Chain A
Amino acid sequence: MTDATTRRPPDEAAARRAVAAVWRIESAHVVATLTRMSGDFDLAEEMAQEALVEALEQWPRTGVPRNGGAWLTTTAKRRLIDTWRRRERLDERYRALARDLEQATDAPGYDPDRIDDDVLRLVFTACHPVLSREARVALTLRVVGGLTTEEIARAFVVPVATVQQRIVRAKKTLGAAHVPFAVPERDEFAERLGSVLGVLYLIFNEGHSASSGEELLRPELGREALRLARMVAELVPAEPEAHGLVALMEFTAARFPARVAADGTPVLLADQDRSRWDHGAIARGRAALARADATGRGRGAYGLQAAIAECHDVAASVDDTDWARIVLLYEALGRIAPSPIVELNRAVAVSMAEGPATALRMVDALAASGALRTTHLLPSVRGELLARLGRGDEARAEFLDAAARCGNERERAVLERKAADAVTA
């Protein structure tokens, strides 16, 4: 086979898909490198997008270059120089960059350590706390994940214009706040890493329990979040929570194949066919948890949630599950990350370990505190406990209340069915 036939894709559509594939692998590196050189994140992202457009025009004719990432970087750098030239800011930085480009041969120097640092800076920039959560999510998926605006809009069921606006505003906000393109200093590292992991978990959760729309699962979004979490864990291997988050996602994703019935209705944990769970993912989750432990710094909130998910994933059935251990893990989680949701989950675990009566007292206390008033979760758990205690009418009222608060159509149908079952039981 000659070079030309291996490098030239058979048709334009295939070439465009190849461009998309290279972009997905390389876009973070390109934007990161350009940001380091220019010191301007907004401009770097814009130039990278222009290089992408140029690739879409050229590669179908010329074939996919051997080093697509270097091609994109070089093209983006040229665009950057053109832009500076237009702005008539012929400063020393531009001249140095131009010299560098002229001297550069086909492949620029490749320094994996430097690229890792750049990508890490990019992740921290995209997840900066000056941005709203929506903006952090959109920017991370776009510049770190390499997703298009259209893909992000489709995943979150919002108009393309909305995503575009979020990204443009996010970049302006970063510029206005003079956010440095840097990995945060030691004293704020933990907090900022928490923001990064939080954004990834937010994306993952949107993938596995869509907050709106008809589909219960958006597996691609969940997989993308998992990929990004694995990436971050490799960039900061000494951070236990990064591995903890990967473990949590693996254990949760392991159950995806059994979570939806053939007709699209969600299947509850107790009814899931556990043979359909992804045991490869469970093994990877356990490996990630072991890496978290190997750092010797203890389990954080993600590590503890992962440990709880692990208890479910390794059990042969709901009855076989080590509920006593889950209760303890929720207690530990409640200490380091107290929240009404954790309390509610602890109550569910207690109901399995000790029976519904104790759990109902915990849930009633939660309800009395006024927490979780707007979600469907509290009445749905309360309904479950009442049904198990044989208080059918009260259970029915709780399930109907829960159904009325539930935003996901699939889940709502399940709650309505439970309400109907509660009286007949």
Chain B
Amino acid sequence: MKYMLIMRADERAVEAYQDMPFDEVIARMGAYNEQLMKAGVMVGGEGLSEADEGFVVDFDGEEPLVTDGPYGEVKELFNGFWILEVSSKEEAAEWAKRCPLGPGSKLEVRRVTGPEDFPADNEWIRKEEGWREELGTK
């Protein structure tokens, strides 16, 4: 089964990372990724760029509101993710615990759904499968 490890950090973690030499951050994450590769469980993952390059679309009001950067608006930042192929929820948890993150960081661990989670005969599900094929994102 596939699990997604979603990296989230609050301001404390972001500040701590800013104080840490970039080489060290890369080295620690690199070593973790290498461990996942060498265990044969890593099947995907991406990091996200600085949060102030992003923006927020807020659905709280009548019209969606677009604002710059999430600072001050949200407590946690979504920084990147891994997708692991493991044999159990507990194995996913065990790998998540080994991630080199510090105070202010959280990993949210979610099972990635597959075709078996949806009704195969639903028209929209079938359409989506077709789109995924075109986009090569399945």
Q: Which A residues form the contact surface with B (CB < 8 A)? A: 14, 17-18, 20-22, 24-25, 68, 112, 116, 220, 223-224, 226-231, 234-235, 257, 262, 273-280, 283-284
Contacts and interface: CB of A to CB of B under 8 A. Distances in A.
A153 B34 CA distance: 32
Interface in B28-60: 31, 34, 37-41, 43-44
Contacts of B93: 18, 21
A337 to B, nearest CB: 25
Contacts of A273: 129
Contacts of A112: 31, 34
**Minimum-distance CB pairs A-B, first 9:** A230-B40, A279-B138, A227-B40, A21-B90, A275-B129, A231-B40, A21-B91, A17-B90, A21-B94
A14 B137 CA distance: 34
Given A22-B94, A220-B87, A275-B129, A230 B37 contact: yes
B39 A18 contact: no
B44 to A, nearest CB: 6
A341 B59 CA distance: 60
A105 to B, nearest CB: 20
B135 to A, nearest CB: 9
A280 B138 contact: yes
Contacts of B87: 24, 220, 223-224
B73 interface: no
Interface in B115-138: 115, 120, 126, 129-130, 132-133, 136-138
A24 B120 CA distance: 33
A22 B91 CA distance: 7
A247 B31 CA distance: 24
Contact of B85 (A14, A227, A231): A227
Given A18-B93, A25-B39, A235-B38, A276 B44 contact: no
Contact of B133 (A17, A228, A275): A275
A234 B37 CA distance: 7
A148 to B, nearest CB: 12
Nearest to A227: B40
A280 B40 contact: no
A112 B38 CA distance: 10
Interface of B: 31, 34, 37-41, 43-44, 83, 85, 87-91, 93-95, 114-115, 120, 126, 129-130, 132-133, 136-138
Given A18-B90, A226-B85, A231-B39, 12 more contacts: A17-B88, A21-B93, A22-B94, A24-B87, A25-B39, A68-B94, A112-B34, A226-B40, A234-B37, A257-B114, A273-B129, A279-B137
Contacts of B88: 17, 20-21
Contacts of B129: 273, 275-276
A234 B133 contact: no
B132 A275 contact: yes
Contacts of B90: 14, 17-18, 20-21
Nearest to B2: A280
Contact of A229 (B40, B114, B138): B40
A244 to B, nearest CB: 16
Contacts of A235: 38
B83 to A, nearest CB: 8
A37 B70 CA distance: 54
A25 B91 contact: yes
B106 to A, nearest CB: 11
A226 B39 CA distance: 11
B129 to A, nearest CB: 4
B94 A283 contact: no
A231 B38 contact: yes
A223 B85 contact: yes
A228 B87 CA distance: 13
A80 B65 CA distance: 66
Given A17-B90, A227-B40, A231-B38, A25 B95 contact: yes
Of B88, B94, B120, most buried by chain A (CB within 10 Å of CB) is B94
Given A17-B88, A18-B93, A20-B90, A283 B39 contact: no
A116 B38 contact: yes
Contacts of B115: 257, 276
Nearest to B41: A227
A282 to B, nearest CB: 8
Contact of B94 (A18, A224, A276, A284): A18
B113 to A, nearest CB: 12
B39 A278 contact: no
A24 B38 contact: no
Nearest to A220: B87
26 contacts: A17-B90, A18-B94, A20-B90, A22-B94, A24-B87, A24-B91, A68-B94, A112-B31, A223-B87, A226-B85, A227-B39, A227-B40, A228-B40, A231-B39, A235-B38, A262-B120, A274-B133, A275-B126, A275-B129, A276-B115, A279-B132, A279-B133, A279-B136, A279-B138, A280-B44, A284-B43
A257 B113 CA distance: 13
Contacts of B130: 275
Of A21, A231, A262, A284, most buried by chain B (CB within 10 Å of CB) is A21
B31 to A, nearest CB: 8
